[in-house]
Each structure stands twice: as structure tokens, then as C-alpha cells.
Chains A and B, each alone.
Chain A
């Protein structure tokens, strides 16, 4: 009997928040605005992409390594937070976009956009028991 193997069981991004397209090489700008509550003007400055990109259906990540890193780290943070918050999508979105005292007042979203997303990924992996670490 063959056993179904899922890529997500082996670390592939699950994209629980639906930010990436199926091929994982572009993101949906409207979905980003929905999640973060930002306006196109503010989001374009934070991501350092033209404001006009937010009127496209998809924004490619292929030619902009910095943008790709920020968006993919945000997606990974979203996936891990979704697991930690009992797969509750609304609570995950609130957690991702709220200022957090554990992160010195910044939201996980802001931290990902400034390029420090890996630190949040590590913090979440420790709390999920997937990486060794201490609580405090």
C-alpha cells in the first residue's frame, strides 16, 4: 500500500495565509493588504516596490532577492504562528500585525519587512519544540 507523502510534512512552506501563488514565485498584493491592513502607499514604501504593484494581481519575486526574502520569511512566520496558535487564522493575523512586547514593540510583520524575519522564525521554532532553546 502506498503512503501519501506531503511536501509540507518535510518543511515546505504551507502558505496558510494564502499570500503566495501556487508556484510560490509571486505574491498577491491584495492579500498582503488584507492581512496587514496597510494602504498601498505605506506597503509600497515598506516593501520598497512601486505603488502601482499593488494594483496588479500578482507581484513576481523572481527578480528581487530582497523582496523575495522579506515575503518568504513573512510567509514562514505566518505558517509557524498558525501552528502555534492552534490553527486559528484570525488570531494568527492579529498576532502577526500587532505590536509585541516580546519583540520590543514591533510587530512580526514589521520585523520581517526590515529583514529580521529569521529571528522570529527561530523564536517560533523553539516554542514549537522543533529547535532547542530556553524559554527565558
Chain B
């Protein structure tokens, strides 16, 4: 039905659960709105993630490259937040974990649940580069309580047989993004959640895109536990 001139339209897709809510003056505006907002952003993200998800499920055996890390890691926080706190990770999601904003779509289309991760970097300059606007941050050193058995995500993705653009998709996911703006799980989140759910590792590591030579690490935090299960924290700046 064509809305009245200057009217508001609210549409919800039965198949995807995604919604569109906007004002328009005529049918041309409606068409533009669909093209600009719905078709190209959320829907494209969802279709792409579903395609990769199906490729992951139908792929055969693949090799997982691993490394054990014992060295200290670094994390920045603001406003007195503990570096071992997982509340924000669950509430918003992150580069490799599905959180509140993507949870409903992930559960419905990917049969994947939310997961809390602790993100850290292998050096302070790397943690600062990933943060952006780091001058107000508290710098913490995280000492692993036990050696962390991690997946080399870059190498695993590069040699993954089921989907050749996996590394490219992961590179395109920003680390310090405002993840609660993203309502559809992205490929980086889906692949790592698949690895978390189907294999027994402590987390993943991946080269930093903002500080060459250093790595970002995401440690999987099991249900009912916090970062304190894996790390001892020490504040470095006062």
C-alpha cells in the first residue's frame, strides 16, 4: 500500500526480523529508503554472513594453527572500569564475539549464542593505537595465570578451504568499534564463535591493523567466569 503524502511507514520483515521506520513524501522516497537503508546495510550484512556461515558448516576438515602464549598482555580501560570486567563485552559484542546488539539475529539465523571475551594487546603502544583517544585511559598489564593455548586466526583463515575471502572479511572488522551499532553478526564474529563452540582453545590472536608487528588477543571467557579466571591484573599508570 502506498502511504499518504508525508506519512510515516514502519515495516518489519517476517523472514529476517529486520525493521525499517521512516518518513517519506512519495513512493520514490520509499524506494530510496529501501535501497539506501535496508537493502544495502543490514540486509546485505545478513545475507553475506549467512552465506559464509553455510560455507563454514558445509566445509570439510580444516587445519587450525595454534600457539601457546605465556607473556604479559595489555588492556586499556576508562573511568575506573576493571580490565577483567566482561559486562561490556556481553552487552555490545566485539570484533570476535557476539553480544547484545547482535544476539537476537545470531540466535535465530546462526544458532549461535553470545559470549564474553577479554580483548588485549601484546604491547602498550599497540593497545593505545587500537584504542584511539587513549590519553584518558588506565593502562593495565594482564599476567596469564596459566599458559594460554590460542588459535592463530590469521593463518587459519588464510588456509581455510571453505571460503577464500575469510581473512579479508576479518580485516574489515574494526577492533575498537562501537559494536552496539551493529545489529547483524559479522563474519569475524561468526567464524570465531564457531571455533569457540566446536574446539577446545582459550582464545584467538590476530595481527593488529593499527600497530604493525603486534597482535591483538581475544580470550574466551566461559559462562559463570570472569577475566580473573585467566589473568592477574596490574595497573601501570597512576
A→B interface (CB under 8 Å): 45, 48, 84, 101-104, 106, 111, 116, 119-120, 123, 126-136
Determine the chain B residues whose CB is within 8 A of the CB of A134 once the complex forms: 75-78, 81, 83, 85, 88-89, 119
Indicate if the CB atoms of A104 and B182 lie closer than 8 Å.
Answer: yes
Indicate if the CB atoms of A136 and B137 lie closer than 8 Å.
Answer: no
Sample of 8 more A-B contacts, CB < 8 Å, known A106-B181, A132-B81: A48-B23, A120-B178, A126-B79, A127-B131, A129-B79, A131-B79, A132-B77, A133-B78
Q: State which of B60-68, B151-159, B169-177, B198-206 sits at the interface with chain A.
A: B169-177
Indicate if the CB atoms of A132 and B23 lie closer than 8 Å.
Answer: no
Interface residues of B in 124-141 (CB under 8 A from A): 127, 130-134, 136-137
21 contacts between A and B (CB under 8 A): A101-B177, A103-B177, A104-B182, A106-B181, A119-B180, A120-B178, A129-B137, A132-B78, A132-B80, A133-B78, A133-B79, A133-B81, A133-B88, A134-B76, A134-B77, A134-B78, A134-B83, A134-B88, A135-B75, A136-B130, A136-B216
Indicate if the CB atoms of A132 and B79 lie closer than 8 Å.
Answer: yes
Closest to A101 in B: B174
In terms of DSSP, what is the predominant structure of the interface of chain A?
Answer: mixed
Per-residue interface assignment for chain B, residues 85 to 97, with 1 indicating a CB less than 8 Å from any chain A CB and 0 otherwise: 1001100001100
Checking B79, B176, B216 against A102 with a beta-carbon cut-off of 8 angstroms, the contacting residue is B176
CA distance A104 to B213 in the complex (A): 25
CA distance A135 to B26 in the complex (A): 44
Determine the chain B residues whose CB is within 8 A of the CB of A103 once the complex forms: 177-178, 181
- Using A129-B79, A132-B81 as known contacts, say yes or no to A84 and B133 having CB atoms under 8 A apart: yes
CA distance A84 to B78 in the complex (A): 14
Closest to B83 in A: A134
Checking B76, B85, B182 against A135 with a beta-carbon cut-off of 8 angstroms, the contacting residue is B76
Determine the chain A residues whose CB is within 8 A of the CB of B132 once the complex forms: 102, 127
Determine the chain A residues whose CB is within 8 A of the CB of B23 once the complex forms: 48
Q: Report the minimum CB–CB distance from A107 to chain B (whole Å).
A: 12
Range class of the B interface residue count: 20 to 34
- Using A48-B23, A102-B174, A119-B181 as known contacts, say yes or no to A127 and B78 having CB atoms under 8 A apart: yes
Closest to A47 in B: B23
Per-residue interface assignment for chain B, residues 170 to 194, with 1 indicating a CB less than 8 Å from any chain A CB and 0 otherwise: 0000111110111000000000000
Q: Report the minimum CB–CB distance from B33 to chain A (whole Å).
A: 10
- Using A119-B180, A120-B178, A128-B136 as known contacts, say yes or no to A135 and B79 having CB atoms under 8 A apart: no
CA distance A133 to B83 in the complex (A): 9
Indicate if the CB atoms of B181 and A129 lie closer than 8 Å.
Answer: no
CA distance A21 to B224 in the complex (A): 51
Determine the chain B residues whose CB is within 8 A of the CB of A136 once the complex forms: 76, 94-95, 119, 130-131, 175-176, 216
Q: Report the minimum CB–CB distance from A68 to chain B (whole Å).
A: 16
Q: Report the minimum CB–CB distance from A47 to chain B (whole Å).
A: 10
- Using A48-B23, A127-B78, A129-B79 as known contacts, say yes or no to A135 and B174 having CB atoms under 8 A apart: no
Determine the chain A residues whose CB is within 8 A of the CB of B176 once the complex forms: 102, 135-136
